[in-house]
Amino acid sequence: MKTNDEGLKYVELTHPSGSKSEVYLLGGVATQYSDKDGTEWIAVRPDAKVDGSKPISGGLSHCFPQFGPGAIQQHGFARNVDWEVASMDDSSVTMRLAPSEYTKAIWDKEFECLFTTTLTGESLDTEMVVKNTGKEAFDFQAALHRCARVGTPFTGPRVRTKSCFSLKRPQTSTTCRHNLGVCCLKFCCFLNDAYSYCQCSF
């Protein structure tokens, strides 16, 4: 665990190949990923605040439990709050988001969200698991905005997409896998009654 100059905590991931990444607890957002050749794939806005005064603008930012405008604030609350580290090693970290007084005032649902970022020699992989920990079914939306660094070259093997499924029965699992390349700026999963699993890599 490290702390930036403004006092925000983040996890630095490293891989023997030379690739590296940084993931902040605020918003559970990955703000940096460079591959083994040193190519930077993720961008953060030059005017982004990284002092905790507002969500970090850019990176791989979460939209949960709502994408876009709707019944609650735009894009939900996941990017506004601190996630906790559930587990980590040199090249992988799993962060956890659970209900708090702040989230319950916005969206009064019982849930657990786990977001894993794994650094490999060829990619940065992410996995999101959302579990309904209550007794009542609920609908939610999840999206991951990716801000790509302009000038990053397109590479075919990094652009792969698989199907997205949804279920409407509580305590069942839903799988949504997206392998994102530089031509994909976001994935959006509309999932129901969640034990839901989303994965992407680029």
What is the secondary structure of 2-29 as a DSSP string? EE-TTS-EEEEEE-TTS-EEEEESBTT-
pLDDT tens digits, one per residue of 122-141: 888 888 888 888 888 888 88
**Nearest-CA neighbor of 162 among 179, 138, 148, 149?**
179
| pLDDT winner (highest mean) among 8-17, 46-55, 182-191 | 8-17
- Could you give the percent of the chain with pLDDT greater than 90? 32
pTM score > 0.95 for this model?
A: no
Domain segments of the chain as ranges = 2-43+56-154
- CATH code that applies to domain 2-43+56-154: 2.70.98.10
Question: Could you tell me the two tokens for 76?
Answer: 């939900």
pLDDT at 163: 26
